Amino acid sequence: MRSFILTLSVILAGLQVFPQIVITRNDMPFVGDTIRISTTTNTPGFEPDATGPDFTWDFSSLTAQSQSVERYVSINTTPPLYQIIFNATVANLASPVDMIDFVPGFEISDAYVYYMATNASYVRPGYAATIMGIPVPMKFDQPERIYSFPLQYTSQPDSSTSNYSLGIPGMGYFSIMRKRVNHVDGWGTLTTPLGSFDVLRVKSSIYERDSLYIDSLQMGFPIIRHYTEYQWLGLGHDVPLLSITEEDGLFAARYKDIIQNFDPLVLIPDPDRVICKGESLTIGVSVSGGTPPYEFIWSTGQTTQSITVEPDSTTTYEVFVSDAAGTWQTASITIEVIPFEHLTLGNDTVICANASITFTSPYLYEAIRWYVNGTLVSTDGTFTLDSTGVGMGVALVRAEFEQGQCSGYDELSVQFEICEGINEANINALRIYPNPASEVLRIETGIFKREISYSISAGTGNVVLKSDNTRHNGLLEPEISMLRPGIYLIRITDGNTHGAAVFIKN
């Protein structure tokens, strides 16, 4: 018998069998504990759902994006009005927090999470916060069960359902319903940036419905969530060595860590601007800290550090900036646009020396000035130009216009040329319009038979457009948008009757 026992001991020693750990109340926080916690959402390639007995989890590559100190205090140090609800029969620990994320839209201060730690369990009976200046204890009808002790690999799954509702006159109403199901699904060794530890792994499925109604908005909406918490617990560490929350395919990790020196990612956007409609400007954001290189995504879809915009109405541009460590920040720039219409004179054109061209502004400006070759010639809304004082040269027409703090201008050149007559005998003068024309020329063809031929020639004599056997109903409309600006001659014939006219393409 002694030989058998000795042999069994040798075999067990050779196999290096280590029992899984047991978590008790002594492994939870106590009053006075301060714990440094790092957080990150940068978890590429991690598979937190992988688990089992005697398992090895390697999360040594976690990189912190931020860090905080988690403190645990006596309930007697919390605001007195909180203590009326969270007394010694309900809680024996409190942890101050910066915010409570399930109460959006309200100004919140003095927020606490309360716990009750006993030899049998570790539960969360509720929260408390000062909401819009009003102290509000939020005690669940049943505490949320975090762990049951002793906690070990053979522990049976447990669950809790917690509810809370509150109505604040003149402010709103909100309620919380949370169902938590806990299950120990593994044990083994965990490695994080802090080191390697024997751990017990707890998986929790949380189903939550938060209902919020805001009086000032006269509307309410439910927030329905289903997320999973993976927690790795070690002996004597007070809080999970690592906790990963998975929700909608996104992961967020919290883990015990040493002090990290952070250079936070900081964005300084360009100031908001006021422009007149029709103006463009370049906006951007200055970036410092974090871990370069940076990536930019604007609400316009552009991915550069600065963008050029020309909004027609007041617009807010959002930019999302991330660094190589996965840290991100957002900023916005609002461009206020003052309504202002711009006068457009059109394309450069050529007209006959004995003709004129009239410009009319469709907008009523506070001031408008017309210049010809740099000389102010009119301040009226309508201006007519002929070759007087210009001759056969080119006139540069410039219109300057103002409305309030907005101003603009446009220019075009008008070239005057001698238009030669049509000397052929038996040629009828065609009635054409508009003249000058830019897109379509309209010619009255009532003097011709139903089927005609026509050609358009440039000033050099080259035929640039031709059509034979064209039917008409008294009106011919050749498209001339492809022609260059200049003077052209159009000829039309039905075999017996001939017609011609000169037109200007602008």
462-495 confidence digits (pLDDT tens): 788 889 988 888 999 999 988 888 888 888 999 8
Instruction: Tell me whether residue 297 is in a domain.
Output: yes
- Residues 488 and 502 sit within 8 Å (Cβ to Cβ): yes
Token pair listed for 70: 């988690």
Instruction: Tell me whether residue 269 is in a domain.
Output: no
- Number of residues assigned to the chain: 506
Quick one: 244 and 315 in the same domain? no
Quick one: 251 and 371 in the same domain? no
Quick one: 172 and 78 in the same domain? yes
Q: Alpha-carbon torsion 395, 396, 399, 400, what sign?
A: negative
- Residues 416 and 393 sit within 8 Å (Cβ to Cβ): yes
Once rounded to an integer, what is the mean pLDDT over residues 145-161?
95
**Mean pLDDT, all residues of the chain:** 87
CA 166-102-182 angle, 5° bins = 105
Dump pLDDT digits (tens) for 43-77. 877 888 899 999 999 999 998 888 899 999 999 99
Domain boundary among 222, 256, 290: 256
CA 7-13-17 angle, 5° bins = 125
Q: For residues 445-483, b (16+ Cβ closer than 10 Å) or e, as one string?
A: beebeeebebbbbbeeeeebbeeeeeebeeebebebeeb
Residue 301, domain extent: 279-338
| CATH at residue 63 | 2.40.360
Instruction: Tell me whether residue 271 is in a domain.
Output: no
- Residues 103 and 136 sit within 8 Å (Cβ to Cβ): no
Please state the pTM of the whole predicted model. 0.58
Dump pLDDT digits (tens) for 376-435. 999 999 988 888 777 767 889 999 999 999 999 999 888 877 665 554 456 777 888 888
Q: Indicate the range of 143-147, 181-185, 431-435 predicted with least confidence.
A: 431-435
Q: Where are the beta strands (DSSP E) in 379-441?
A: 382-386, 394-403, 406-417, 427-429, 432-433
Quick one: 301 and 192 in the same domain? no
| Share of residues in the chain with pLDDT > 90 (%) | 55
Structurally, how many domains does the chain consist of? 4
